[in-house]
Amino acid sequence: MAKVCSVCSKGSVTGNRIIRHGLPKKKGGIGLHTTGVTRRRFLPNLQRLRVRIDGATRTVQVCTSCIKAGKIQKA
């Protein structure tokens, strides 16, 4: 099953994990230096819920922001 919300279609996004070494200038160092950049994925917070859809009960994956906003009706 895909990591996508069935209500708002929120999915995974990509970004970077940046590693910096060195002492910051404000602490008396020569500054921070980027020594590594790695690609990573930010995944949505999906929960598996039993939801009423058109009078039928189905198990779907819904993100927590949709649950908090009340966009679904629990079975």
pLDDT tens digits, residue range 39-67?
999 999 999 999 998 999 999 999 999 99
CA dihedral 44, 47, 53, 55 (to 10 degrees): -170
The whole-angstrom separation of Cα 24 and Cα 32 is 6
| pLDDT score recorded for residue 12 | 96
The whole model's pTM is what?
0.76
Tell me which fold the domain 13-69 belongs to: putative 5-dehydro-2- deoxygluconokinase like fold (2.20.150)
